[in-house]
Amino acid sequence: MEEPEAVGRIEPGGVTPTEAFSILGNETRVGILQALWEGEGPMSFSELRDAVGVDKGNFNYHLGELSHFVRRCDGGYELRETGTQVMRAVVAGTITENPEIGPVEAGRPCPFCGSPIELLYRNEHITVRCRNCAGVLGGDLPDGAFMHYALPPAGLADRSLPEVVEAAHVLFEAHVAMMLQGVCPACTARTETDVVVCEDHVIGPDGLCDRCESVPEIWATFTCRNCRYGRRSVLWLVAIYHPAAIAALRERWEFDTFLELQRLLWANPGYIASVTERVVSTDPLRLQVELPAESGSITLRFDDELRVLDVDY
Ligand SMILES: [Zn+2]
Ligand SMILES: [Zn+2]
Ligand SMILES: [Zn+2]
């Protein structure tokens, strides 16, 4: 099949980031966006002015300045997609709040050392860490971390902390699934997939490799050059998206949805500890993941862009 021609780099029309911030650095204008966001459908000029509560001349001027965020429509005025995005960021709480929760005990033991695991929420990230051992991640993360995911404060509402962890898992894994298919979850631009293999991987006395400061030797990395969104993932997480892996895991556990499989994996850290990942060859780079199944195991081999080359079961 012939590769379709790329449409090239799209230049966003009109407003620069500096202009956007200067346009929105005004209470009346933010009030207009908020009123349209909260209103049910389009609002007439007078409805909108009453909702914001400023005099007519001033209101008219500020409304006119919002042409990148608000448009005229049949019923009066409504948010453009850019205005909706601004309001979504406000509602997600990434601009307005910085809550902290925990640490609280997670109620299950560390898969590596059996010590209590704790959960905490700081700087819009949820962390699951062991109080005793090195965990998996290392680097700049909290000591003993084996999960550290971004989650906006809105994700905390109406959820217990374990449910927050689950929501963060779902978000992370959905983003990995998108980026595996080359789509940026933040801006939809094309993403790049790379594999990073530690060249001198030796687990030291502190439980982490000195060189790469983590337990896994292999990381899958996904990067968006357009908006700089990026994620890295362990390899087995990529492997479980393969239909053959799902079929093999279904022989081991009963599940009907991908979320049920995810829950089984989160609830069985001992299973995850039994998954093996290794570099089969470096030139060309070939990687292998072995997932224990009901009888024997399923082996998936990947190339350097994480395409599945073959599956043994
Ligand atoms: Zn531990
Ligand atoms: Zn290493
Ligand atoms: Zn992006």
Per-residue model confidence as pLDDT tens digits over 165-175: 889 889 999 99
5 touches 51 (CB < 8 A): no
Q: Is residue 293 part of a domain?
A: yes
Domain termination site, one of 54, 71, 92? 92
Q: Is residue 47 part of a domain?
A: yes
Residue 12 — pLDDT band, cuts 50, 70, 90? very low
Q: Is residue 43 part of a domain?
A: yes
40 pLDDT exceeds 90?
A: no
Kindly give the distance from the C-alpha atom of residue 202 to the centroid of ligand 2, in angstroms, as a whole number. Answer: 6
**Does the reported pTM lie above 0.85?**
no
Classify 11 as helix, strand or coil. Answer: coil
Kindly give the distance from the C-alpha atom of residue 189 to the centroid of ligand 3, in angstroms, as a whole number. Answer: 5
- Mean pLDDT, residues 198-212: 89
Mean pLDDT of the chain: 88
Q: Is residue 214 part of a domain?
A: no
Domain termination site, one of 70, 92, 114? 92
Q: What is the CATH number of the domain that holds 51?
A: 1.10.10.10
- Judged by its nearest atom, the ligand closest to the C-alpha of residue 130 is 1
pLDDT of residue 96: 67
Kindly give the distance from the C-alpha atom of residue 254 to the centroid of ligand 1, in angstroms, as a whole number. Answer: 28
Burial class for 3, CB neighbours closer than 10 Å (0-12, 13-18, 19+): exposed
Q: Is residue 197 part of a domain?
A: no
Kindly give the distance from the C-alpha atom of residue 177 to the centroid of ligand 3, in angstroms, as a whole number. Answer: 14
Among residues of the chain, what percentage have pLDDT more than 90? 48
* pLDDT tens figures, 221-268: 999 998 899 999 999 999 999 999 999 999 889 999 988 998 888 878
197 sits in which H/E element: strand 191-197
Work out how many domains the chain is built from and give that number.
Answer: 2
Among residues of the chain, what percentage have pLDDT more than 70? 94
**Range of weakest confidence among 8-12, 138-142, 190-194:** 8-12
Domain termination site, one of 92, 107, 137? 92
Q: Is residue 79 part of a domain?
A: yes
Q: Is residue 278 part of a domain?
A: yes
Structural domain range at position 87: 17-92
| SS (HEC) of 108-161 | EECCCCCCEEEEEEECCEEEEEECCCCCCCCCCCCCCEEEEEECCHHHHCCCCH
Q: Is residue 296 part of a domain?
A: yes
- Judged by its nearest atom, the ligand closest to the C-alpha of residue 196 is 2
pLDDT of residue 298: 94
Alpha helices (runs of H) in 66-110, residue ranges in sequence order: 81-92
